[in-house]
Amino acid sequence: MSEKTCAACDCPLDENAFQVKVGGKTVEVCCEECAQKLDAAYVSAQSPGGN
């Protein structure tokens, strides 16, 4: 059986894990901080790059 890990930090998920939607996909994270990091990374990736 494969162990589930946090989508942001790859830490093993325990009973405190929760699901968040990022870019229309549901992912599991270990804490609110990781949820915020994923959301910020998604928003950053969606914004146009360059100067």
Give the predicted TM-score (pTM) of the model: 0.80
* C-alpha distances out from residue 44 to 3, 9, 23, 38, 41, Å: 29, 18, 12, 10, 5
Residues 3, 40: Cα–Cα separation, whole Å: 26
CB-CB contact of 7 with 36 (8 Å): no
Confidence check: pLDDT of 3 > 90: no
Rg (CA), the chain: 13
Confidence check: pLDDT of 15 > 60: yes
Question: Which residue bears the tokens 């162990």?
Answer: 3
Question: Which residue bears the tokens 């494969």?
Answer: 2
pLDDT of residue 1: 54
Percent of residues, the chain, with pLDDT higher than 90: 80
pLDDT of residue 34: 97
Residues 29-49 have pLDDT tens digits of 999 999 999 999 999 999 886
